[in-house]
């Protein structure tokens, strides 16, 4: 039975109602999404050169072309905003028809679109205008832009070459358990496990209905909670659920996201009410709760991914449910954070993954008294599509290493990319990170380490939301650790027959049956159309994909 959560009347500003007020533009079954108009759910590379702009736009008549060649212009203009992307990173068609027209808009060159059509309505559009994302006046001579365009198109390959390992052998390590609980079609946005209870909690989102589902150890429904907006994250605080709502699902800059608490009424075992904790957030995709300033109050670290604008912010708990916002980085694309004492000074530092143009990993070293200093430790091409990361001491040297995942492909260059996949960066002991392992996996969305086979080393499980060649068999991979020494990092890849039934966007590790072996639960999102879908895979997923699938470790 579904519980419609009751709003506390004495709380102000909370989400403006329930299901009836859901965003009318949200995705539903009867509408196929044009992938060139949207980005992926969590976390995606919206536009190339996402923040390239001139703060002092000139009129077009005063712009004179430079004497610089296209390559030098590209390196000068692009490197000022993000890592320079080499022409070889995309095929000619993607540069010419996808990325470069979007780049032109950032310089006020609107040959193929009306400026007004690029900017959303309302407060989100006002924020975009204030940030001068799309200049009213042209800021680059058309001749210079044409030289940049020519440089990229002439030096790009006709086709990207993928690393093809052929058909993977199958693993028998996991037993597939399909869960009867299903949304039609599955459009999952969040998947986690209750601590200590082995219960699954996940969220599904539709145009007219968003919900949080709670399942017991046998995956039977305990409770279904109707919520106003799509949920991206849950924090467990005793018996209270602290949920992060993205606000509007579609890419946008409106501050309509929130963090709210879901609670049980006294004497009841069911969740039945909620109230607002934070509001006016720009499309928050991940939150982390930690006492960042050591005042014995739990602060909130929020990845406000946004779209063209956004930020990585922490909200200082002032007591009595009052919070003060502190901006760590005022730019879009904050995707994931972790709190760890990286320099071993006794203070909690922050690691953050950024997407949306200037992609990379930053450490914010805690200086005390709520002050942080930023250091970029990894920087990636704006085409990488950063999605996720995890901290693990992979080589057992006492220092946290980085498991990095990139595979967001909902942008203007929707081709399988050989540099998508899973990377391991080893910490040298001074927070310098170097790549020691790469597994190519187009569309990779998550990967997690665990000793799945019980032989004493760390294996890996990985999912792809944009599987290579639209082949669903490439959507889940088990990587067995076959390293022969501590200095070596090597894995052997396996497929798992049956996992092709879903389009996996989230993965959760848990020991569901309490046998001491880590199991895997997968969450499916089928509401995004596939490009070049010659085999009708999109329709198959819509009709037959389970919402969740459990992989029980044998």
pLDDT in tens, 80-131: 889 999 999 999 999 999 999 999 999 999 998 999 999 999 999 999 999 9
Rg for the chain, CA atoms, rounded: 23
What is the C-alpha separation between 522 and 409, in angstroms, rounded? 20
What is the C-alpha separation between 417 and 88, in angstroms, rounded? 11
What is the C-alpha separation between 525 and 533, in angstroms, rounded? 16
pLDDT of residue 12: 31
349 close to 364: Cβ distance less than 8 angstroms: yes
10 Å CB burial of residue 315 (0-12, 13-18, 19+) is: buried
Q: Annotate 350-379 with DSSP letters as a single string.
A: EEEEE-SSS-EEEEEEEEETTEEEEEEEEE
Least Cα distance to 41 among 307, 275, 395, 376 occurs for 307
Residue 266 contacts by C-beta under 8 Å, 6 or more apart in sequence? none
What is the C-alpha separation between 410 and 443, in angstroms, rounded? 9
What is the C-alpha separation between 375 and 526, in angstroms, rounded? 38
Structure tokens at 312: 């990585």
Least Cα distance to 249 among 309, 201, 301, 207 occurs for 207
What is the C-alpha separation between 387 and 446, in angstroms, rounded? 8
pLDDT in tens, 38-64: 333 333 333 333 444 444 444 455 799
pLDDT of residue 229: 92
What is the C-alpha separation between 255 and 278, in angstroms, rounded? 11
Least Cα distance to 448 among 275, 163, 68, 192 occurs for 192
pLDDT of residue 60: 54
Residue 196 contacts by C-beta under 8 Å, 6 or more apart in sequence? none
Low-confidence spans in the chain with pLDDT less than 70 = 1-61
pLDDT of residue 18: 29
> 3-class DSSP state for residue 382?
coil
pLDDT of residue 466: 95
User: Alpha carbon of 322 to those of 43, 237, 300, 318: distances in Å?
Assistant: 28, 18, 12, 5
* Adjacent-strand bridge partners of 480: 492
Which residues of 197-340 form beta strands (DSSP E)? Answer: 200-205, 210-215, 221-227, 231-237, 240-245, 257-264, 271-281, 284-290, 299-304, 311-319, 322-329, 334-340
Q: Residue 177 phi/psi, 5° resolution?
A: -125, 110
pLDDT of residue 294: 96
Q: Where do we find the tokens 């928050």?
A: 284
Pairing verdict, β 200-205 and 349-354: unpaired
Q: Where do we find the tokens 């059509």?
A: 117
Least Cα distance to 390 among 401, 379, 398 occurs for 401
What is the C-alpha separation between 96 and 441, in angstroms, rounded? 25
- The DSSP element (H or E) to which 542 belongs, if any, is helix 537-544
Q: Where do we find the tokens 């894995």?
A: 491
Distance from CA of residue 396 to its chain's centroid?
Answer: 28
Across the chain, what does the average pLDDT equal?
89
What is the C-alpha separation between 368 and 534, in angstroms, rounded? 56
């Amino acid at each position: 039975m579904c519980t419609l959560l009751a709003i506390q009347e004495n709380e102000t500003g909370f989400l403006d109602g329930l299901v009836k007020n859901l965003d009318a533009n949200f995705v539903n079954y009867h509408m196929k999404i044009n992938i060139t108009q949207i980005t992926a759910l969590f976390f995606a590379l919206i536009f190339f050169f996402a923040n390239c702009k001139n703060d002092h736009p000139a009129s077009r008549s005063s712009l004179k072309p430079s004497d610089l060649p296209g390559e030098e212009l590209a390196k000068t203009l692009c490197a000022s905003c993000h890592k320079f992307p080499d022409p070889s990173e995309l095929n000619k068609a993607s540069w010419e028809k996808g990325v470069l027209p979007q780049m032109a808009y950032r310089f006020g060159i609107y040959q193929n679109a009306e400026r007004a059509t690029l900017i959303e309505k309302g407060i989100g559009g006002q924020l975009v205008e204030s940030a001068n994302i799309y200049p009213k006046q042209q800021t680059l001579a058309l001749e210079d832009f044409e030289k940049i365009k020519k440089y990229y198109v002439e030096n790009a390959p006709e086709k990207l070459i993928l690393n093809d390992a052929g058909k993977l052998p199958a693993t028998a390590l996991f037993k597939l358990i399909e869960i009867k609980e299903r949304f039609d079609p599955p459009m999952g946005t969040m998947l986690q496990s209750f601590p200590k209870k082995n219960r699954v909690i996940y969220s599904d989102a539709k145009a007219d209905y968003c919900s949080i589902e709670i399942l017991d150890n046998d995956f039977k429904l305990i409770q279904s909670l109707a919520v106003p907006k799509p949920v991206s994250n849950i924090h467990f605080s005793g018996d209270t659920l602290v949920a992060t709502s993205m606000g509007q699902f579609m890419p946008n800059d409106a501050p309509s996201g929130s963090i709210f608490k879901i609670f049980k009424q006294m004497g009841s075992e069911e969740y039945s009410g909620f109230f607002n904790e934070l509001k006016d957030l720009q499309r928050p995709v991940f939150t982390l709760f930690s006492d960042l300033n050591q005042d014995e109050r739990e602060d909130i670290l929020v990845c406000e991914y946004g779209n063209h604008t956004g930020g990585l912010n922490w909200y200082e708990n002032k007591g009595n449910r009052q919070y003060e916002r502190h901006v760590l980085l005022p730019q879009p694309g904050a995707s994931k954070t972790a709190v760890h004492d990286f320099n071993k000074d006794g203070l909690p530092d922050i690691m953050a993954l950024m997407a949306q143009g200037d992609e990379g990993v930053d450490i914010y070293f805690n200086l005390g008294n709520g002050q942080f200093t930023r250091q970029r430790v990894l920087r990636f091409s704006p085409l990488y599509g950063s999605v996720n990361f995890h901290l693990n001491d992979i080589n057992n040297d006492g220092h946290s290493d980085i498991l990095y995942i990139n595979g967001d492909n909902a942008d203007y260059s929707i081709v399988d990319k050989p540099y998508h996949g899973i990377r391991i960066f080893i910490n040298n002991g001074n927070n310098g990170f170097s790549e020691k392992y790469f597994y190519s996996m187009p569309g990779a969305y998550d990967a997690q380490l665990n000793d799945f086979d019980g032989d004493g080393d760390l294996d890996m499980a990985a999912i792809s939301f944009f599987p290579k060649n639209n082949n669903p068999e490439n959507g889940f991979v088990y990587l067995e650790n076959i390293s022969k020494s501590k200095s070596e990092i090597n894995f052997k890849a396996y497929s798992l027959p049956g996992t092709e039934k879903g389009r996996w966007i989230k993965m959760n590790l848990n020991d569901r049956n309490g046998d001491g072996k880590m199991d895997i639960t997968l969450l499916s999102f089928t509401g995004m159309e596939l490009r070049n879908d010659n085999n009708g895979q999109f329709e198959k997923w819509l009709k037959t994909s389970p919402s969740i699938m459990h992989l029980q470790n044998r």
